Structure 1
Amino acid sequence: MTNRTMAIVAYITLIGWVISYVSYRNSDDKSPFVRYHLGQALGVMIFSILLSVAIGILAGIVPALATVLYIVSLVPLVFMLLGIITASNNAERPIPLIGKFVEGKFSL
């Protein structure tokens, strides 16, 4: 897999992230580009899980907000799409809102 492909696949579900991570670990060229996008994708996935838990709790407490919370739950999907677009353009830009926070937090 090329570095660009590994970076793009990292954003596509947890299985895609694992595939990219294993390919990155087995490659001779440890590209900082792929490492950057692996970290960003992992940050988006962790954010998605935390957001899902928070939305589940809030929807249980205030059922009237369920529709609004459903729309908010689409935010991680938008972040993943932005990450895929950034990776396909061979750029290392952080994901909006959470990208700077997770930058350099994971040792991959």
Structure 2
Amino acid sequence: MKNKTLAIVAYITLIGWVIAYLQYKNQEEKSPLVRYHLTQALGIFIFAIALNIVITIIASIIPSLGSILLIAGLLPLILLIFGIISASNEALSPVPGIGKLFENKFSFLN
């Protein structure tokens, strides 16, 4: 697969991330584009899990906030769309809000 395609596939569910990661590891010459977007996508997935835990706790304590929390639960999807757009433009730009937190993390990708 092309590097651009791998960068985009990294954002499509965890299975897509694993496929992109395995293809990246099998490459002779590691692409910085793919590595960057693997990092960003993994960061979004971790953020999504943490956000869902927080939303579940808050919704169980204050059930009347359910509709607002439902909208907040869509934030990871929006971040994934921003990541896909960035990957399709072959840009190394972080996703808004949380992208900078994960830029130099996950050393196993190097």
TM-score by length of structure 1 reads: 0.99
Query: 1:83 Cα deviation (Å)?
Result: 0.2
Q: Which residue of 2 aligns with 1:66?
A: 66
Between the aligned partners of 2:9 and 2:29, the Cα distance in structure 1 is 17
Structure 1 unaligned segments of length 5 or more: list them.
none
Alignment identity in percent? 58
Distance (whole Å) between structure 2 residues aligned to residue 47 and residue 85 of structure 1 = 19
Q: Which residue of 2 aligns with 1:30?
A: 30
Counterpart of 1:20, as a letter, is A
Structure 1 residue 27 displacement after superposition: 1.1
Tell me which amino acid in the other structure corresponds to 1:50: A
Alignment-mate amino acid for residue 101 of structure 1: L
Q: For residues 73-99 of structure 1, what are the alpha-carbon distances to aligned partners after superposition, in whole Å with 9 as ceiling and x for unaligned?
A: 000000000000000001000011100
State the match for 1:20 in structure 2: 20
Corresponding residue for residue 98 of structure 2: 98
Question: Aligned partners of 1:68 and 1:17: how far apart in 2?
Answer: 29
For the aligned residue pairs, the C-alpha RMSD in angstroms reads 0.4
How does the TM-score come out when normalised to structure 2? 0.97
Partner of 1:86: 86
Q: Which residue identity lines up with residue 74 of structure 1 in the other structure? A: L
Deviation, structure 1 residue 28: 1.1
Q: Which structure 1 residue ranges, 4+ long, deviate > 3 Å from structure 2? A: none
Segments of 5+ residues of structure 2 without an aligned counterpart are none
